[in-house]
Amino acid sequence: MAEDRQIRKLFNTKQDIIEFKGIPSKDSISEGQIAFAKDPTGRLALFRKAHGKLWQTYMTHNGDQVVDRDLKVGGSLTVRGNLKGTRAYFGGGNASAMSASGYLKAFNGLTMSATIGYQMLRDGSITGVSANYNITATGSSGIIRARVMKAGSVVFQASNTNISGTGMNAISETQARYVDVFSAGNIISLNMEVNVEEGSSYPTIDDIVAYFEVVFND
For residue 175, is pLDDT > 80?
yes
Sorted by sequence, the CB contacts under 8 Å of residue 112 that are 6+ apart come out as 92, 103, 104, 105, 106, 149, 189, 190, 191
| Pair type for strands 18-20 and 34-38 | parallel
What would the pLDDT profile of 23-34 be if each residue is shown by its tens digit? 777 777 788 888
For residue 8, is pLDDT > 70?
no
Q: What CATH class does 14-69 carry? A: alpha beta
What would the pLDDT profile of 26-56 be if each residue is shown by its tens digit? 777 788 888 888 777 777 888 888 888 888 7
Query: What CATH architecture is 87-216?
Result: Sandwich (2.60)
Burial of 144 from C-beta contacts in 10 A (0-12 / 13-18 / 19+): buried
What is the DSSP secondary-structure string of 129-154?
EEEEEEEEE-TTTEEEEEEEEETTEE
The single-letter DSSP state of residue 2 is H
Q: What is the pTM of this model?
A: 0.70
| Residues carrying CATH 3.30.505, the chain | 14-69
| Residues carrying CATH 2.60.120, the chain | 87-216
For residue 77, is pLDDT > 70?
yes
